[in-house]
């Protein structure tokens, strides 16, 4: 976008650091303050002049030319849980369909066809509702296709058995366990099973089975019920040798989730405390636990194209770098759109992934960019948070509304700059990940 006044924007990180940032391409510098004053280094301006065009094109390409690389498959619409905030409407979870072995095979063949000219292996994630309800079918598919795809499974662990962990380890499957709190009564308040209990015991049992497995991660959905337990959860998971945890905001796609939204400031305060806990534990024990949300924000600043979580970028990754295929074959930009038939890009059993990617609903989501969102279009952090989530905003009545967790993101991003300034990135990203990053420039 042409902007004659474009340049570096200055704001406070905290009382010690000043931030210089070009919001258009995320060129940044953090500058120490002395009695509230700061001096802009010459070489920062030199770098800015030199790198501006390159950073412009890098971010543009990442936003608009990054190819599809991940497909979420919901092999069943049904679930053995009734989590308070689930984004899948309850009628679908109760009465939805399930893929047969043949249907899943057809789906994977079509995905294989789409990626046949791509060297990199695409990622297939078996996801919500509860994929292990059709465990035999998905394990059979993994056996057949493990050389073609990289696989992941997201599960509440209710149906996970010890022998399954051997299979998962053998095929190097990424496994995400849903757990909201270190305390049973808090976890089971939101992660409720259809029998009225909770998944705490099974989830913890699964963590014990997987202890030390590199492909393990935990997803915690943050609500007003567990927001003040995030640090305790990090401690608990570190003891269980969980290498990665996501402390994700509850998505307000369904009306019933709105009532569970944590206060933005309470969420940011507790997430920052959880990050501090993770840093302390990593230093003390020489074994890391990474908080994926903070890692992603830090990456969005220091290496935007290395970030993985595609919610925090504009446009989001839905219908762009990933899509979801539901149990009846509908292709939607993201699982959050399962309840909205108008966002189907076609059915995998009747059409192709290519056609879905070019469909109007998918384009509609790709067209939701921060430049078109009031407030976001003038926010310095617009290309770091990305103003998620389109499904959530569509459900709340305005696709082009700004992020529901706007104030949370601002706090977290400011803290990310502080962590970078204080040279704590090494504790935020996985050690091996840092080794894979190369400096393009450094002040």
Partner 1 sequence: MKTKKVKENLSHKRTKAKGTAVSYHLKCAKTSNGLTHFVMYGDVPKKKMPL
The CA-atom distances, in angstroms, between 312 and each of 55, 295, 385 are 18, 12, 5
Cα within 13 Å of Cα(293), Cβ side: 26
DSSP strand E in 292-404: where? 322-325, 331-332
The CA-atom distances, in angstroms, between 432 and each of 2, 140, 285, 429 are 39, 32, 17, 8
Question: Which of 75, 96, 131, 176 touches partner 1 by CB under 8 A?
Answer: 176
Q: Is 43 in the site for partner 1 (CB under 8 A)?
A: yes
Interface stretch with partner 1, choices 4-12, 105-113, 341-349, 364-372 (CB under 8 A):
4-12
Coil, strand, or helix at residue 291?
Answer: strand
Site for partner 1 in 242-301 (CB under 8 A): 243-244, 246, 290, 292, 295, 299
Q: How far is the CB of 429 from partner 1 (least distance, A)?
A: 7
Q: For partner 1, give the closer residue by CB, 68 or 227.
A: 68
Q: For partner 1, give the closer residue by CB, 14 or 185.
A: 14
The CA-atom distances, in angstroms, between 46 and each of 28, 242, 302 are 12, 43, 18
Q: For partner 1, give the closer residue by CB, 57 or 100.
A: 57
Q: Is 147 in the site for partner 1 (CB under 8 A)?
A: no
User: Sign of torsion, CA 417 418 420 421?
Assistant: positive
Question: Which of 96, 131, 152, 386 touches partner 1 by CB under 8 A?
Answer: 152
The CA-atom distances, in angstroms, between 297 and each of 351, 384, 412, 416 are 36, 7, 8, 7
Q: Is 31 in the site for partner 1 (CB under 8 A)?
A: yes
Residue linked to tokens 């808090």: 186
> Are the C-beta atoms of residues 7 and 52 closer than 8 Å to each other?
no
Coil, strand, or helix at residue 175?
Answer: strand
Q: Is 57 in the site for partner 1 (CB under 8 A)?
A: no
Q: For partner 1, give the closer residue by CB, 89 or 292.
A: 292
Q: For partner 1, give the closer residue by CB, 148 or 197.
A: 148
Question: Which of 1, 34, 35, 397 touches partner 1 by CB under 8 A?
Answer: 34
Interatomic CA distance for residues 9 and 160, integer angstroms: 51
Q: Is 410 in the site for partner 1 (CB under 8 A)?
A: yes
Alpha helices in 117-192 (DSSP H): 135-145, 162-170, 184-190
Q: Is 64 in the site for partner 1 (CB under 8 A)?
A: no
Q: Compute the C-alpha angle 126/131/133, nearest 5°.
A: 160
Q: Is 60 in the site for partner 1 (CB under 8 A)?
A: no
* Lookup: tokens for 106: 């057809």
Distance, CA of 101 to chain centre:
29
Q: For partner 1, give the closer residue by CB, 93 or 307.
A: 307
Q: For partner 1, give the closer residue by CB, 127 or 202.
A: 127
Bridge partners (DSSP) listed for residue 296: none
Coil, strand, or helix at residue 28?
Answer: strand
Interatomic CA distance for residues 79 and 158, integer angstroms: 10
Q: Is 28 in the site for partner 1 (CB under 8 A)?
A: yes
With CB under 8 A as the rule, give the number of residues binding partner 1. Answer: 85
Q: For partner 1, give the closer residue by CB, 266 or 306.
A: 306
Closest CA to 249 of 375, 387, 95, 81: 387
Q: Is 307 in the site for partner 1 (CB under 8 A)?
A: yes
Interface stretch with partner 1, choices 73-81, 132-140, 155-163, 433-441 (CB under 8 A):
433-441
Interface stretch with partner 1, choices 79-87, 143-151, 186-194, 249-257 (CB under 8 A):
143-151
Q: For partner 1, give the closer residue by CB, 360 or 443.
A: 443
Interatomic CA distance for residues 205 and 158, integer angstroms: 10
Site for partner 1 in 330-359 (CB under 8 A): none
Q: Is 320 in the site for partner 1 (CB under 8 A)?
A: no
Q: For partner 1, give the closer residue by CB, 38 or 114.
A: 38
Q: Is 421 in the site for partner 1 (CB under 8 A)?
A: yes
Q: Is 159 in the site for partner 1 (CB under 8 A)?
A: no
Question: Which of 111, 133, 153, 234 touches partner 1 by CB under 8 A?
Answer: 153
Q: Is 163 in the site for partner 1 (CB under 8 A)?
A: no
Q: Is 40 in the site for partner 1 (CB under 8 A)?
A: yes
Name the CA radius of gyration of the chain, rounded.
22
Q: Is 174 in the site for partner 1 (CB under 8 A)?
A: yes
């Amino acid at each position: 976008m042409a902007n004659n006044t474009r340049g570096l924007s200055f704001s406070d990180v905290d009382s010690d650091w000043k931030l210089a940032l070009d919001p258009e391409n995320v060129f940044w510098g953090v500058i120490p303050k002395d009695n509230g004053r700061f001096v802009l280094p010459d070489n920062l301006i030199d770098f800015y002049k030199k790198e501006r065009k390159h950073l412009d094109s890098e971010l543009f390409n990442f936003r608009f030319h990054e190819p599809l690389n991940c497909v979420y498959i919901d092999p069943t619409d049904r679930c053995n849980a009734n989590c308070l905030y689930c984004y899948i409407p309850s009628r679908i979870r109760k009465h939805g369909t399930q893929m047969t072995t043949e249907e899943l095979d057809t789906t994977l063949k079509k995905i294989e066809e789409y990626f046949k000219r791509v060297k990199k292996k695409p990622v297939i994630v078996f996801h919500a509702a509860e994929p292990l309800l059709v465990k035999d079918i998905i394990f059979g598919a993994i056996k057949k296709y493990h050389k073609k795809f990289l696989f992941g499974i997201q599960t509440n662990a209710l149906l996970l058995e010890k022998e399954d962990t051997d299979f998962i380890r053998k095929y190097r499957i990424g496994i995400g366990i849903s757990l909201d709190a270190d305390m049973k009564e808090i976890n089971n308040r939101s992660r409720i099973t259809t029998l009225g209990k909770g998944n705490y015991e099974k989830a913890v049992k699964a963590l014990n089975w997987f202890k030390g497995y590199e492909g393990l991660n935990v997803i915690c959905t943050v609500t007003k019920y567990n927001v003040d337990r995030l640090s305790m959860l990090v401690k608990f998971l570190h003891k269980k040798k969980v290498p990665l945890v996501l402390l994700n905001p509850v998505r307000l796609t369904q009306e019933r989730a709105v009532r569970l939204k944590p206060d933005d400031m309470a969420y940011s305060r507790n997430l920052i405390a959880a990050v501090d806990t993770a840093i302390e534990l990593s230093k003390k024990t020489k074994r890391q636990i990474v908080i994926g949300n903070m890692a992603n924000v830090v990456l969005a600043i220091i290496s935007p194209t290395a970030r993985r979580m595609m919610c925090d970028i504009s446009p989001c990754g839905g219908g762009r770098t990933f899509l979801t295929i539901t149990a009846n074959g509908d292709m939607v930009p993201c699982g959050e759109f399962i309840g909205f038939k108008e966002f189907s890009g076609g059915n995998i059993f009747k059409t192709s992934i290519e056609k879905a990617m070019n469909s109007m609903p998918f384009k509609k989501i790709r067209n939701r960019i921060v430049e078109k969102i009031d407030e976001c279009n003038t926010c310095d952090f617009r290309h770091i948070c990305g103003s998620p989530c389109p499904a959530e905003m569509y459900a709340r009545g305005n696709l082009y509304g700004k992020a529901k967790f706007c104030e949370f993101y601002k706090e977290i991003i400011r803290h990310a700059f502080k962590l970078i300034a204080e040279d704590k990135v090494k504790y935020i990203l996985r050690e091996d990940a840092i080794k894979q990053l190369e400096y393009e420039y450094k002040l």
